[in-house]
Structure 1
Amino acid sequence: MGSGKTSASIELMNKPDSNKYIYITPYLDEVTRIKQSCNERKFYEPKVFSLDGELYFKLDSLHKLLSEGKNIATTHELFKMATDVTKDLIYNGGYTLILDEALEVVKEVNISASDTKMLLKEWLIKSDNGALLWDTAKEDKQNEIYSGKFQLVRRYALNNNLAIHNGVILLWSFPPNVFELFKDTYILTYLFESQLQKYYFDIHSIKYEYWSVMNEKDRYFFVNKKSSSIRDIKNNIKSKIKIYDGSLNKVGEGKYSLSKSWYINKKHLHKQLKNNTLNYFNNIMNSRSDKNMWTTYKDFKGKISGVGYTKGYVSVNERSTNKYQNKIVLVYAVNRFLNPVLDGYFKSRDIEVNQDMYALSELIQWIWRSAIRNNEPINLYIPSERMRSILVSWLNDEISL
């Protein structure tokens, strides 16, 4: 984080050679940055467009740009919609992929157990590799394309995005063969060892190696070795992060306090956590509302919101954006664990996710949205005993990554 990964990518893409690039980022403002910064080759952004009276959507636009061999900058969300057409065009185009931040490669599809059983009985076929396919032969027999409420499931299945876990839970999974279609792939992230894309690569035997960024005379470039400067970065920021250590931390004592299940089962403590957050911002720090940044699980935002800091809410999953770099007083009111369904999915494939490292990666990404990314000091209240301990251990080099 802050090591110059995007700058090194821009330097790479500005080299006067014959390479073609697809740059994938979580945010539209980063798409704009790439388009403005890459002067040696023009980048195009997929857009909704009209042609001969027909309306074409972003995926159509992406296919059009790929067929024309254009350099493309777009978002994670569009990239995750890749179809067989997308794959063919990428492969034949000879593209290099630069992926800004690890991709969401697997997630639970929110469908009831009864509906899942119905779909498995009526429309879904399990393939030899475990993927779920849509029964298009049945559609052919009926001479009608399915048009019910599970059209999204149908699209996932047709795109080879659908898998099953424990017999009744449907999972969306990014097709792993997409990464084989590019000449080269760069993933710009920190703590990759802790992220789900790493475990997903391991499941599918996708090979990867660790690179790092070097800076010489204000020019950034990638080098084929793991970074040796992480300790220097930590030593620099350690003195700039002041972590609250007082009685307000009582509410977070215990390994699972402030986890999702804690919020569900400990409703009587929501008011205490809200009062603690209010106390920290307004009394202990006496901070201005425009300098405050805080988070909790989205479903419980209203329970913890309070006067003077509500508007400073930043999603617990926020990453790869500079919008909050003025924030200097932070409250991280969650205790991160991997979704049990996803944890079970990886375990069923003999992959053990390190929960503490996963939590650390998520926490650091969130903190890095603040002024610390500009090397400015921040104040931080982390009521969760577990999360606070993990961060302190990382800062003190007691966790080796």
Structure 2
Amino acid sequence: MNTEKPATQKQIEGEQRRVAVVGAGIIGTMSAWQLAQRGHSVTVYDQWNTPNDRGASAGESRIFRTLYKEGPEYVEFIQRSGEKWQELESAQSVHVLEWCGGLTIGRPDHPDVAAVLECADELDLDHRVLDADAMRNEFPAYGVDDDEIGVFDPNAGVFRPELAVLAARNESIRLGTTYRPYSEVLNIRPLADRVMVHTADSADAFDSIVIATGPWAAELSGLSAGTIFNKQLVGCWFPAADVAVHEPSRMPISIRRHPEGAFSGFPCLDGVGVKILTHHLEWPRIDNVDSLSRFVDPAFVRSAETAVARLMPGLDPTAVRVSTWTEGFTPDGAPIVGPSPIDDRIVLAVGMSGQGFKFSPMVGSVVADIITSGASNDALDIMNPSRFTTGASS
């Protein structure tokens, strides 16, 4: 990207703008939907098709939760995202979010369990605290020790991420968005009166650009090296002896914290098994996203199998399917959403740090607000790009 910062172009609220969205995962497609709703002319570029299994919007299932251990400042943002998810489902007549509830399981003094309880109490959020006997009776899919509890979040659920991306894509297309799959953006060049997007086949002029490139964000974002780094995520699927006990109607999503294993648990969506995403081993960093390995270090698979054998009594502790994908992380674990330090006609929506899927509709809404009027009342300070830059627009 050309780093010379030209004079900015004044934004006039209500004016239709030509907007390019680079990246067609869940953040890019949600941004396209929200921009098209506001009447802008939107073109979405992706180096692959959309959806695909190469970025962060993959893996069969994702979690929606509102009792948020990451901090109460996110909760209203997440709640409003839930409303927009329902709006999208209604507009497209699809079902992508199963409201199965969610559990945080562990000893009461574990930091993540304590943080969830503190969030619920501070914001007076609906929840239940179950002791070990109540957990075994109500949610038999999860094995618990006598000194553990489960904190139940009724406003939680499980996504089908690939279908969610399709829904956002299709709704944005219905509203006039154009998609250009298999069109890798090679360069973004700000000029005085326009911003150019260069691919191998064309150079196109736009008024504004959205960078929503997920794990590839470092290449076009204009952020300094190290601001976004990528990790390999590994999901393992385990067959259930009794599938009915592990379906969304009886098995909530979970954040599990135990001395012998930590993981996210996802109910059975394929009629066969449960997905486990381990947390107790450090996810390996990836220098080159394009070389993401589809082969997994056996230590990760064995760690998941060991945790399942100890903590998931209804599953065969043999991983029958293993999948990898990748995500971009920031040093503080919060996303980057706001104007670029290079040019405020370029809006960043990157570095989701494993959090972004659930609140992607509100990220898209904030992006659309910024492009439409220069600011958003819904923007969260914790996501402001200026925390990593100097001279960035706020």
- Considering fraction of residues, name the structure with more strand: 2
TM-score over 0.5 for the pair: no
Determine which structure has more spread, i.e. the larger CA radius of gyration: 1
TM-score normalized by the length of structure 2: 0.27
